Amino acid sequence: MKNKILMMSMICVLAASSLAGCAQKNEEPEASDQAIAIEQTEPAPEEKPASEEEPMVGMANPWVDITEEEAKEQCTRLFKAPDGATATVWRKCDSLGDPDKYLGPLIQLDFELDGQEFTARAQQGAQEDADISGVYADWTVGPEENTLSNWGGGNMTCKTYRAINEEGYTDLITWYDIEIGIKYSLTVSAPDLDGFDIMAVADAMYNPDNEPRTE
């Protein structure tokens, strides 16, 4: 009888121990699930909005808009926009000049005339063979030497060029004031310039009011 009671007691102890172990094992996944839940709910690193990203720094435009009066201060014998011209804009580029070499800034005048867009440039102190036009083309015609009728008392030598390709025509004229040391250029591009006389436009840009004062 005592043996039966002892055996029953041992069975009860073992059963209780087994139940306690199962309960402990069943609780562990809950803790793991909780840890996973916390990890999943942690906020993701904040991304910087695109609008707050550092802007890219571009190169500054070397050309600045100026008035005609300001342009005259930089070039002693400056041209003018021809009569009837519209959309006139004066600009200068200081970086293409060199005061130490008595080379003034590059002056530019953009204008429209008879439906064509022109660009005229002048630079005081430039050499006679300097290319200030900014036009790089394979010239079909030129250089051809001629004489302007208004500039230099009718004795100003000029050179004309023409490029013809699949995009159309480009005409260029250059002339040089040897008395003061000023290089000039005038360019125009269009689908068709057959019969066009760029010398006539250059002559129309002469301004006797811009002659240097001798007083």
Residue 13 pLDDT > 70: no
When the pLDDT of each residue in the chain is averaged and rounded to a whole number, the result is 82
Q: Is 45 in contact with 73 (CB distance < 8 Å)?
A: no
* pLDDT tens sequence across 78-127: 999 999 999 999 999 999 999 999 999 999 999 999 999 999 999 999 99
* pLDDT tens sequence across 155-199: 999 999 999 999 899 999 999 999 999 999 999 999 999 999 999
Band of residue 212 on the pLDDT scale cut at 50, 70, 90: confident
* Residue spans of beta strands (DSSP E) within 14-129: 63-66, 86-93, 106-113, 116-124
Between the alpha carbon of residue 198 and those of residues 57, 115, 166, 194, 210, the distances in Å are 40, 14, 21, 11, 21
Q: H or E segment at 33? A: helix 2-41
More confident residue, 56 or 185: 185
* pLDDT tens sequence across 15-32: 444 444 444 444 444 444
Residue 44: its pLDDT value, please? 55
* Beta-carbon count within 10 A of 99 CB: 10
pTM of the shown model: 0.72
Residue 33 pLDDT > 70: no
Find where tokens 């809950």 sit: 30
Band of residue 61 on the pLDDT scale cut at 50, 70, 90: confident
Extents of the domains making up the chain = 63-210
Residue 12 pLDDT > 70: no
- Torsional sign, CA 40, 46, 49, 53: negative
Average pLDDT (51-69) is 76
Residue 23: its pLDDT value, please? 45
The CATH number of the structural domain formed by 63-210 is 2.60.120
Residue 81: its pLDDT value, please? 97
Residue 77: its pLDDT value, please? 94
Give the Cα separation of 49 and 53 in Å (integer): 7
